[in-house]
Structure 1
Amino acid sequence: MHGQSISPDWQSSMNLSSPGFQFSPINYQALFLSQINTKSLFSCAQTCHSNGNCRIFDFNDQSLLCRLFQGNIITMGSIVPSSSPQSRVGSKKYNAEQFISHGQSCSLCEGSRYMRCINNTCHCEINTYFDGFICQSQKLLGDVCVNSTECRHDLNYTCLPRQQCGPSTFQIGVLVGGYGNGTAGNSLNALYYPIGLYVNINETIYVGDLMNGRVIRLHQGSLVGSIVAGSGTPGASNTQLGAASGIYVDASRNIYASDSMYNRVMLWSKNATSGSLVAGTSTVSGNTASTLNGPSGVVVDSLGNLYVSDYYNHRVMKWAPNASNGSYAAGNGTAGNSPQQLNLPIGIYLDEFNSYLYVADSNNHRIQRFQLGISMNGTTVAGGNGQGSASNQLDTPYGVYVSNKTGALYIADYNNHRVQQWNLGAAYGETLAGVTANSGTSLMLLNNPSNTFLNHNETYLYVNDRSNNRILRFTMT
């Protein structure tokens, strides 16, 4: 916004943007008030001024469409280019004098466009709260709060114990793996930087225990696991894993484990004590069709084709059963942010029914979706608005899981210490677990979450809390 303002003989002034812009709210449904056709920018500003709930407006000089919004223009949306060169965005300017009658007799705020009378006392307008000086816009899901008056009551949000606005039904995490206090270890009830995650139909949890060079299996209700791949001592032999990152478990309980230290994917058959090489050239890194460099996420389709995110090669490779070479499934092998490129991909998710491959494109801070066999151009379905902590941004996403019921994405937003639910087609995500940009060891906090997984019935969300060396489970509501 620029400093230009219009202030006729009203109680308020307006900030105006430069020509050629419109307002893009983070949550359109929550912030949109109404729209009308009006003859001029001035008329649109008058309409907003006369509406006590309106705080933001934009006017399209070609269509003469005037849109009114509530909310805070700085934190609840963006000013973006418009197709109309003379379109503008405006927002009301406020000062403490306009709210000096707050909490006093209604006779002192009679006729005010900023206050309303409730029980003979002057109060803030709907969806705003008094911060001691002025009436501020109430906050949306995931916004930081101190008390519940700051959160949108009409959306049933309250200030949760983690100091974020959200539904009162929010569940704190339940410990299902690791010590739980942030401590790492190598015993059977400990983890050291868990990254890979898989949960089968019986709620048995498989964890890629990165720094311990093993895959741990945890049966439901037990915090003591058993080693089902790797030896627990990192190494390059066929009985070991150097750094167990991504894992996939098929219906026969065969385990595919990517070894990011030794640039390979190993297959452990059920109850086997050693693995066999299925992708990459053991211990040798490279960028050819037969080599990998820092493999991470793995998934296998119903035909036995293996998909591997090749981190340092900025690509996802596909290996047919028993093949010695892979082929490109996503990315072109060169780091970049175009639709054909990836930059340090980590977690992947395969929607085989729709032939979609989802990729956590970590260094582009976005989730890309590729339609297999159709196009090598990816579509950004979450993030992609730069590195950041706003609800329409991500910061180094590590993992992604997609609901089979709703198509919503569940994203391990690593450096924001949160899990974001990004509904199908949405422009922003909602925080389901963790507190944005705040790490900690309590069951309400996360510290670099690295993966997510929904159970078979989608009643629980499992989260690898990497730097807390634990697995947490959250109840879906």
Structure 2
Amino acid sequence: MGDTNGQVVAGGNGYGNRLDQLMGPTDVLIDKETDSLIICDQQNRRVVRWSRSSGTTQGEILLNNVGCWGLAMDDQRYLYISDDEKHEVRRYQLGDKNGTIVAGGNGAGADLNQLDYPRFVFVDQEQTVYMSDYNNHRVMKWNKGAKEGIVVAGDQGNVLTQLSYPYGLIVDTLVIPNIPVDARWAQNGVTVAGGHGYGNATNQLHNPYSFYVDDDQTVVIADYVNHRIIQWKMGDTNGQIVAGGNGQGNKLNQLNGPSDVLIDKETVSLIICDRGNQRVVRWSRRSGTTQGGILIDNIVCFGLAMDDQRYLYISDIYKHEVRRYKIGDKNGTLVAGGNGKGNGPKQLDSPLYIFVDQQQTVYVCDNNHRVTKWSKGTKEGIVVAGDQGKGNALTQLWDPSGLFVDTLGTIYVADYFNNRVMRWPKEAKQGTVIVGGNGYGVGANQFFDVRGLSFDRRGNLYVVDEYNHRVQRFSME
């Protein structure tokens, strides 16, 4: 940074196909493990590697006879290459010459199993492939193992939803804050929503249950008794009703005691647990939306979560279980509980809020005064917090009603009747109080039944203070 001149690190020896030359390179990435550059040498139809070590004068061929254009590498060092001659993307283990098709490969075309001159590629932590599909004027998403892609940008009919020959792209994937193990937060919270007593004015909340913090620190709140979803942008003194707010009822423009909400960024919509109506509904966030649509009916839902692959997770307090749903699926797959009400390792008791990490591990807080962890595909949960009966000791929880898990596996719990937020490091036998724990009250360092919690990208902590009818933010110090 600050240089006035660049440094040639590969090629620069004229136009040609010698190992010290490049011909129309279109993409490059750094392979940190080998401290080398991987280059799409497009007009030579090859992918080459150049060491970054001082004195390197030529590269080596990794792949030959490939119509490469874009490159990406995932966390496991698989290399992804877009081929604009075969209209496909392949994944290669380094040293492999054939690769595996992960997108397209069915000739040039506009069907969902086709690409037409794919350009650049992005791969997330779940090996989901995103592709700028040049001649189709769209961006496609291909989940791992999928035979068809999903259009996530472009391919539409008006100016703001269209693309024209898209090239580069980057995907802002689900970000779970990497919170230091010794992080501390201000002990006095700042009210970011509500705090003006209970009521239905736009500067009030009435028994808020849960919320979602967006990337710009907008807080979207399930305002339970007001039968609405209301959002507060950072610094606003009044919120904006974005779903419901038309009285208690079961019409498509109404909600009945919403208990949870999340943002589905791909469809620019809210997904809401409409608890009193025993349904999960979707409301568009676009201007002018006046009603929602039913995703799943006849479910006594309470908590919601969505993973990186857009699977929806729903806790059912009547069936004492959590299920995972592909959007559009009405039945789902059991991922936790489902063996009747109880406190055994295969059971849950009225599961409330849930959290799902990037490995599709499900964390559940339930009326057993505990948090359990259910790894993908397992039939039993593991207790990771509480399960020592209700109480206020550091080994106990009392009706936990919200949780968050960071990238280190540290669990943060909204300890409802203890009016505190607790941190349980991975494999810890007891937690520590990070905010609250000062008795119930209206002070900036107090809660009156803490209902839900989350963090923004900066590590600031947000907490629903139910009977103070407010949401508090505690800044990371």
When the two structures are superposed, what TM-score results if normalisation uses the length of structure 1? Answer: 0.59
Tell me the alpha carbon deviations over residues 214-236 of structure 1, each in whole angstroms, 9 at most, x when there is no partner: 11110001131101111242211
1:223 corresponds in structure 2 to 237
Aligned counterpart, 1:392: 395
Alignment partner for residue 374 of structure 2, among 370, 374, 392? 370
Distance, in Å, in 1 between the alignment partners of 2:186 and 2:238 is: 28
Find the residue that maps to 2:417 and give its secondary structure. Answer: helix
Equivalent position of 1:308 in the other structure:
314
Secondary structure of 2:362's partner?
strand
- The one of 264, 276, 283 aligned to 1:268: 283
C-alpha change, 1:192 and 1:169, in structure 2 (3 Å) is closer
- 1:167-206 to structure 2, matched below 5 A, reads 170-180=186-196, 183-206=197-220
1:430 is aligned to 432
User: CA 1:167–1:455 in 2, change beyond 3 Å: closer, same or farther?
Assistant: closer
SS in 2 for 1:191: coil
Give the secondary-structure state (helix, strand or coil) at the position aligned to 1:421. Answer: strand
Contact 2:185 2:476 survives alignment (8 Å): no
Matches within 5 A, 1:229-244: 229-244=243-258
Deviation at 1:198, TM superposition (A): 0.5
Q: Is the 8 A contact 2:187 2:436 kept in 1?
A: no
Aligned in 2, Cα 1:218/1:375: closer, same or farther, shift over 3 Å? same
Structure 1 residue ranges (4+ consecutive) displaced by more than 4 angstroms after TM superposition? 166-170
- Contact 2:423/2:431 (8 A) holds in 1: yes
What letter corresponds to residue 415 of structure 1 in structure 2? Answer: F
Root-mean-square deviation over aligned CA pairs: 1.8
SS at match of 2:276: coil
The answer to whether the 8 Å contact 1:212/1:232 transfers is no
Could you list the per-position Cα deviations for residues 292-351 of structure 1 after superposition, in whole angstroms to 9, with x for gaps in the alignment? 12x111112233321111112211122222112233121015110111100011110110
Q: What 5-or-longer segments of structure 2 have no aligned partner?
A: 1-181
- SS in structure 1 opposite 2:285? coil
Counterparts of 1:448-467 in structure 2 under 5 Å?
448-458=449-459, 460-467=460-467
Aligned-residue offset at 1:260: 1.2
- Report if aligned partners of 1:449, 1:466 keep a CA contact under 8 Å in 2: yes
1:258 and 2:273 aligned: yes
Q: Could you tell me which residue of structure 1 aligns to residue 382 of structure 2? A: 379
Q: Distance in 1 between matches of 2:340 and 2:429?
A: 28
Q: Which amino acid aligns with 2:212?
A: Y
Q: Secondary structure at the match of 2:464?
A: strand
Seen in structure 2, the aligned counterparts of structure 1 residues 169 and 298 have a Cα distance that, compared at 3 Å, is closer
Instruction: Give the SS at the match of 1:467.
Output: helix
Aligned-partner SS, 1:261: helix
Deviation at 1:203, TM superposition (A): 0.5
Listed as ranges, the gaps of 5+ residues in structure 1 are 1-165, 282-291
Deviation, 1:167, is 11
The alpha-carbon deviation at position 427 of structure 1 amounts to 1.1
- Report the equivalent of 2:334: 328
- What is the CA-CA distance between 1:433 and the residue it aligns to? 1.6
After TM superposition, list the pairs within 5 Å mapping 1:24-423 onto structure 2.
170-180=186-196, 183-252=197-266, 253-271=268-286, 272-281=289-298, 292-293=299-300, 295-351=301-357, 353-361=358-366, 363-372=367-376, 374-404=377-407, 406-423=408-425
Q: Provide the TM-score with structure 2 as the length reference.
A: 0.59
Task: Look up the equivalent residue of 1:250 and give its one-letter code.
Answer: D
Higher helix share: 1
1:472 pairs with 2:472: yes
1:82-108: CA deviation from partner (whole Å, max 9, x where unpaired): xxxxxxxxxxxxxxxxxxxxxxxxxxx
In the alignment of these two chains, the number of paired residues is 293
Deviations along 1:382-419, one digit per CA (max 9) or x if unpaired, are 11111111001000001101123x32111110011111
CA distance in 2, matches of 1:422, 1:233: 40
State the percentage of identical aligned residues.
Answer: 33
- 2:11 maps to what in 1? none
* Preserved CA contact (<8 Å) 2:415 2:421: yes
Partner residue of 2:131? none
- Structure 1 residue 273 displacement after superposition: 1.8
The 1:167–1:407 alpha-carbon spacing in structure 2 relative to 1, beyond 3 Å, is closer
Distance 1:356 1:220, change over 3 A: same
- What secondary structure, in the 3-state scheme, does the structure 2 residue paired with 1:367 have? strand
